[in-house]
Amino acid sequence: MYELVAFYLFSALTIGLFSVTVMSKNILYAMTSLAAGMVLISGFFFILGADFLGVVQLIVYVGAIMALYAFAMMFFDATKDIKENNTNSPLVFLLGGMSALLLILMFVGLQQANLANPDAIQALYPMTEGVGNAQDVGMVLFTKFLIPFEVAALMLLVAMISGILLAGKKMDNSLTEDVAADDEIMIVKDEK
Amino acid sequence: MIGLSHYLIVSAIIFSIGLVGVLRRRNLLMLFFATEVMLNGVNIAFAAISHYYNDLTGQMFAFFIIAIAASEVAVGLGILIVLYKKYGSLDLDDLANMRG
């Protein structure tokens, strides 16, 4: 009963909030509704029993990514409405609706195939009985998915370095070839 | 009772909202927001399938999607800041300078 109410509440709210994100003219409104929608999506994860995923969603998406966007807002003028000539043609909405219909048909086909032959889809890494979700995730992540985990860590490191390089001050001119930068470094050294 | 199809339908609707955003937006920052919406829709589908088939693989994929989204935002926002410094705008129509 509670699951029913929670599901319909969360789905209505997320769809509404994400529509605001996509349709709004104001960057601040779009960002706020995106953050609120992400919080509600973590609610979906909690009612699905994926506790650890819900916590990661809250920490990484709502905490880190939205904070990053909020910092980037300082560089852009976020308070005034953005002027953009959106392609508001009915074709866009038609394509969106058609893709939604196509995805739903694909899922329905999957369900039908599964009902006809329930043993066709077997769990690759089944959940362990009597073990919490976080522990279960940890056991699978550090045994079966260790290499993708390490590659993801390396990718995050590369992303961090490139973020520093792109957004940092004076990072766009070379420190070894540019004469002005050389002089500046010398001046800084002299001051020390 | 809520079945797997309910979650999959919600995730398809959210993904399509993001797709409409990607198709109609001209501001790069708003395009980023629309991409985040699409990634979140996919994550719901992964978590729901993981729950109903009693399989952890879906949750693993959702974790890696979150990691990829985080690095995408870090690099993308850096590029956006550089573009904004250079052109003073994030509109795709202003940035199109390879028109023949």
Q: Which fold has domain A1-85?
A: Four Helix Bundle (Hemerythrin (Met), subunit A) (1.20.120)
The candidate with the shortest Cα–Cα distance to A54, out of A101, A115, A6, A96, is A6
Report how many domains make up chain B: 1
Summarize pLDDT for B56-82 with one digit per residue, the tens.
Answer: 898 999 999 999 999 999 999 888 888
Rounded CA-CA distance A15/B33 in Å is 14
Q: Best residue in A11, A95, A106, A161 to probe B by mutation, most B CBs within 10 Å?
A: A11
Answer yes or no: is B15 within a domain. Answer: yes
In a domain, B98, yes or no: no
Q: Is B23 contained in some domain?
A: yes
Cα–Cα distance list, B17 to A75, A176, B13 (Å)? 27, 47, 6
For the record, the structure tokens of A149 come out as 């985990």
- Predicted TM-score (pTM) of this structure: 0.85
Distance, in Å, from the CA atom of B8 to the CA atom of B5, rounded to the nearest integer, reads: 5
ipTM above 0.85, yes or no: yes
Please give the mean pLDDT across all residues of chain B.
87
Percentage above 90 pLDDT, chain A: 30
In this structure, what CATH number is given to the domain that contains residue B20? 1.10.287.3510
Contacts of B32 in chain A (CB under 8 A): 69
List A residues 152-171 in contact with B (Cβ-Cβ < 8 A): 152, 155-156, 158-160, 162-167
The model's pLDDT over B14-31, given as tens digits with 9 standing for 90+, comes to 999 999 999 888 888 889
**Average of per-residue pLDDT across A108-130:** 78
